[in-house]
Each structure stands twice: as structure tokens, then as C-alpha cells.
Amino acid sequence: MKAIIPVAGVGTRLRPLTLSKPKVLLNVAGKPIIAHILDHVAGTRIDHIVFIVGYMKEEFEQWAKDRYPDLRLEFVEQTEILGLGHAVGMGLSEDDGEVMVILGDTIFELNLDEVLQSKYSSLGVQEVEDARRFGVVMLEDDFITDLVEKSPEPPSNLAIVGLYFIKNGGLLKSCIDGIISDNVTVKGEYQITDALKRMVDSGEKMTTFSIQGWHDCGTADTLLDSNKYLLKISEADASGLEEYRPGNVIHPPVFIDDDVRISNSVIGPYVSIGRGAEIEGSIVEDSIIEEKAHISSALLKRSIIGKEAAITGQYQQLNLSDYSSVVIPEKGD
């Protein structure tokens, strides 16, 4: 069975963090966003993963091959960002049967095996307060009767949140080709919601499954929120933090990778620290520190510090890209 995972986006809302790496390789709770997804997929009957790549594709492809050498991986380049529908269509074939589509920047908590046992095509949904940013579905007797993409007046609060189990991939391919041929767009992009609507209109039975543990990682704030949630529910053994406690104060939950050096600091709660990072004389809370970053005499909260970045100074909220260096002067300097 095939899974299609679009990862071509530039990640504009996550700049400057995405200036040096694809957004799906940003770390959250100790591993890249996409690794949380692939670790779910690897234990299922999905045996073929098609990545729709674009921005920094070489770096992503090398990472995926190195990290998951036993998975069958395929990479299809999307040279123009023309919407999710267009991206998914590039990964489909006319003879496809069952297909799972998963957005590459969405971390989910659910039993994927149960979803894959559905008799019908099924979309992951979640009730939201403001559905204007989402495609939504309308239901009758548990079946989808209509889908609407990002309406200013949504007819439903059941938002489509990035997981799509499709029983007839060939039909989805045909419907995507149809909306492209008819130039059906939303803000200049071809949306998968419009293709799914055509499937339903053609008689395809489609239902939904509820996702409660759903985490968008498309902005710095949502990335930090996801980090906080995943650390909170993790079953990490707090006894592994004892080696860092002499001379430091550690407030779980935190994730501390190998070869990390911490001295005279307060860490946590909700902090992820990458391999080889160094923190001295600092207070760090609710933040993500990438590998080999160096933090000295700083107070950080709700911050993301990139790989090999360095910061020295006072209390700040920062999003610092890889290899950056910041010195914050003392007040009055």
C-alpha cells in the first residue's frame, strides 16, 4: 500500500529557521517533525512511501534514506508550488488502489492500523472553533455529503486536518486531473478538498475518523506547542536526568540528547535539547535547542535556537536559525 507525503513547501512562516533546512526536518520533542510521522507509518501495512519534494530536496532525500534504509522510499519533485491537490496528484497513478495521504508538517496521535481497516475512504477530522482556515466536511448518517475549502462562512466546524485514507487512488487521480483541467483553484492553488468533493459527487462513499491528538507544526508557536504536548505525554524515564542535576536545576518534562553539556543552569519544563549542545549559566524554559547550539548567560522562553547557533545575553524570546550568533548587550551598554 502506498502513502503520499507532501514535503515540498518552503516553510515561509517558519523563517529564519527554514533558511538552512526543510521545515519537516525541524526538531520537536527530540526528533524531526517528519520522523514522528514515519515512525507511525513504519509499523503498518504501508510499504511504499512517496515524498513530494521541492525546497532543499537533496538534503531531505539524504536524511530519509539514511534514517529509514529499510523503507521503500520514492521522491517526486514538485517544481512549482501549485497546491496540495497538485502535489498529491503527482504521487498518484491511474491504477492505484488504497492510498494514505499525510501532510508532512502535521504530527498526529492515533491508531493508524484502525484507520487502514476502514471499509470506506475516510478523512481525519477535528472539531475546531474557527473553521475558516480549513477545509470542512458535512455529514449525513456518518457519510460525507459535501466538502468546502476555507470558506469565510464555513457550513461546518468539522475541519479536515491532514490525514486522508483513500480506497480508490485511481479515482482521486482522475478527480485531481479534472480540477486542474477545469482550473478550479483557491487563491491560485489546486486543493485536494475540491477533488474529494468530486469523488463524493460521483458516488464514492466517504466517512470520517476523529483525531484528538493533532498538532500543526507550520509556525514557530505551533512547533513549540507541539513540543510541549509531546514532552508532556512522553514516557521518558526522569532518572536519566540525574547526571545533569549536580549544579543544575532540571524541571521535567524535558528531552536531553547525547553529549549535552549543562552547567549552572535551570532547564525546563518543556525543553528539548539536541545532541552536543552546550548551556551554561542560563535559564531555559519551553524551548527547542538544536544540536551543537551554545547558550551562555541567557534567559530563554518560547524560543527556538538552531543548529550550531550561539547566544549570549539577557532574557529573550528568539527564533534563531542554524549557525547564527547573537550577543545581547547588558542594559545601559
List strand residue ranges (DSSP E) for 70-211, in order.
73-77, 99-102, 106-109, 121-127, 135-140, 143-149, 158-166, 206-210
pLDDT of residue 150: 82
**Chain centre distance of CA 168:** 26
pLDDT reading at 72 higher than 70: yes
What ranges do the domains of the chain cover? 2-220, 237-327
Percent of the chain with pLDDT over 90: 68
> Per CATH, which fold does 237-327 belong to?
UDP N-Acetylglucosamine Acyltransferase; domain 1 (2.160.10)
Q: 223-239: buried (b, 16+ CB within 10 Å) or exposed (e) per residue?
A: bbbbbbbbbeeeeeeee
Q: How much is the pLDDT for 238? A: 61
In order, the DSSP letters of 5-17 are EE-----GGGTTG
Shortest CA distance to 305 belongs to which of 326, 281, 283, 280? 326
Per-residue pLDDT, 7: 95
- pTM here is 0.88
| Mean predicted confidence (pLDDT) in 73-85 | 94
Measured CA to CA in angstroms, residue 108 lies from 34, 79, 112, 124 at distances of 11, 28, 10, 10
In this prediction, residue 237 carries a pLDDT of 55
Given this model, what pLDDT does residue 22 score? 93
What is the arithmetic mean of pLDDT over 140-145?
93
Per-residue pLDDT, averaged over 153-171, amounts to 92
Q: Report the pLDDT value the prediction gives residue 196, as an integer from 0 to 100.
A: 96
Grade residue 128 by pLDDT with cuts at 50, 70 and 90: confident
How confident is the model over 239-262, as a mean pLDDT? Answer: 86
Report the C-alpha gap between 294 and 199 in whole angstroms: 52
Question: Cell 550550531 appears where?
Answer: 308
| Mean confidence (pLDDT) of the chain | 89
Strands 27-28 and 271-273 turn out to be unpaired
Tell me the sheet residues that pair with 102. 163
Q: Is the pLDDT score of 315 beyond 70?
A: no
| Same fold? 2-220, 237-327 | no
Residues 281-306 pLDDT 10s: 999 999 999 999 999 999 999 999 99
For the domain covering 2-220, report its CATH number.
Answer: 3.90.550.10
